[in-house]
Amino acid sequence: MRARIAIDARKLHDFGIGTYIRNLLQQLARIDTETEYVLLCRPDDRAAVEALGPNFRAVPETAGNYSITEQVRIPLALRRHRVNLFHAPHYVLPPLVPCRSVVTIHDCIHLMFPQYLPNRLAWFYARGSLAAASRRSHRILTVSETSKQDIMRLLDVPAGKITVIYNAIDERFYEAPPEEAVHRVRERYQLHDPFVLYAGNVKPHKNIDRLIDAFALVHARGFERVKLIVIGDDISRYASLRRKVLRHQLHQHVRFLGFQPQDTLAVMYRLATAFVFPSLYEGFGLPPVEAMASGTPVVTSNVSSLPEVAGDAAVLVDPYDPEAIAEGLMRVLSDPALRADLSARGLARARSFSWEASVRRVHEIYEDVARA
C-alpha cells in the first residue's frame, strides 16, 4: 500500500511559513509522483493544490489557525482520509492526531520575546503548543542550527530528535527582471534617488524602530539624498513608527509601501543600493538571502541565526545599537568596492541554499518516520 501523507497547507499564502509550504509542495510534486498527499487547505486553494499532480488531493478545511476548532477537526480529517503520516509545518500539533507525525518548528520567538505577544494567554497557548508538539511528534524539523539549539534549551528536546534543513529562496530572484518591469516599478514609486531597502513584516522584533533611529543618523551625516523604503505589513497597525519618522523629520525620506507582490519585490531588491535587515531574532531569515541572490549588498544583525545564514557575505551589526546599524549602512553606502565585494559574496552564498536539496531531505524524513 502506498504511503498517504497529509500536510497542513492552510497557511499557504502567509509571508514566512507560506513561503516554506509553497516551496515544499512544489518540490514534492517534482520529485515524488507515487506517494498520496492529502493537503488540508483553504477552500479557495483547492484548484491550485490539485494542479500539483494526480497524487495530490485537496481537503478543504475552514478551521482557524491557533483555534480550538482545529484541535478537533484536523485529527478527524486525518482519520477520515486514513493518513499514515501528518506534517504540521508550524508548531501546532493537535493531541488527537491518530498517526505518526513530523512538525516543523521554525523558531522559538514566542518564548524568547514574550513581550511581543498580545497577552499572557497567548504566551500560555504558544508555550503549551510548542511543548506538546515537540513532545508528541516523531521528528522535529527546524531551519537553522541556532533554532535547533533554542529548541533543545527551551523545550528540553534531545538533539537526535531534531533535524536541521535550511530554507531556500524562489529561483526568480536570481533572474534579472525585464527592463520594462524595472522601468514600471521605478516610475510608479518614483525611485530616482539611492535608497536602502527593508523587506519583511514590521512586527516589533523586526526592529524597525531602531532602524529609523539609525537612518536618522545616516541622513544627518551627509547622506541627504538616500531614502529608506520599508516593504511589509500594513503600516497602519504600527502608528508608532510613523510618529517616529515625523519626530526625526524624515517624512520625505522614509516611505512605507506595505505588502508588495514578489515580482515587484524582485525589482526593488535590484534597484536598492543596500538591503538592511536588523531583526532581533530569526529562525532563518529569508529576505537577506533574497537580496543576496539579487546582487544587493546586505547589512544585517549579528544575533540569532543571521550570522549563520549570511556567512561572510554581509556586514553584521549590533541590532540593539542604532549607532552600529548606521555605521554599517554608511560603510556600504560610501564604499563602491565593498558593495561589489558583498554583491559577489552574496550571490555565491545564496546559491548554497536549495529548495530541491532541502525538500529531498524532508522527503527522506517522511520515509524514515513512516517506516519506523
361: left (phi over 0), alpha (psi -120 to 50) or beta: alpha
| pLDDT digit string, tens, across residues 289-330 | 999 999 999 999 999 999 999 999 999 999 999 999 999 999
Residue 252 DSSP symbol: T
Q: Specify whether the CB–CB gap between 66 and 90 falls below 8 A.
A: no
Q: Specify whether the CB–CB gap between 331 and 310 falls below 8 A.
A: no
Residue 231 dihedral angles phi and psi, to the nearest 5°: -110, 130
d(CA 294, CA 196): 14
Q: Specify whether the CB–CB gap between 252 and 215 falls below 8 A.
A: no
Structural domains of the chain, with CATH: 4-168+354-371 (3.40.50.2000), 171-350 (3.40.50.2000)
Residue 315 dihedral angles phi and psi, to the nearest 5°: -85, 120
Q: Side-chain half-sphere of 243: how many Cα atoms within 13 Å? A: 4
Task: Tell me the pLDDT of the chain (372 aa) as tens digits.
Answer: 568 999 999 999 887 788 899 999 999 999 999 999 999 999 999 999 999 999 999 999 999 888 889 999 999 999 999 999 999 999 899 999 999 999 999 999 999 998 888 888 888 888 999 999 999 999 999 999 999 999 999 999 999 999 999 999 888 899 999 999 999 999 999 999 999 999 998 889 999 999 999 999 999 999 999 999 999 876 666 788 999 999 999 999 999 998 888 899 999 999 999 999 999 999 999 999 999 999 999 999 999 999 999 999 999 999 999 999 999 999 999 999 999 999 999 999 999 999 999 999 999 999 999 987
295: left (phi over 0), alpha (psi -120 to 50) or beta: left
Task: Using the Cα atoms of residue 206, residue 262, residue 306 and residue 298 in order, give the sign of their dihedral.
Answer: negative
Mark out the alpha helices in the chain (DSSP H runs): 17-31, 46-50, 68-80, 109-112, 120-136, 145-155, 179-188, 208-220, 239-247, 262-271, 286-293, 306-310, 322-334, 336-350, 355-371
- Model confidence pTM above 0.85: yes
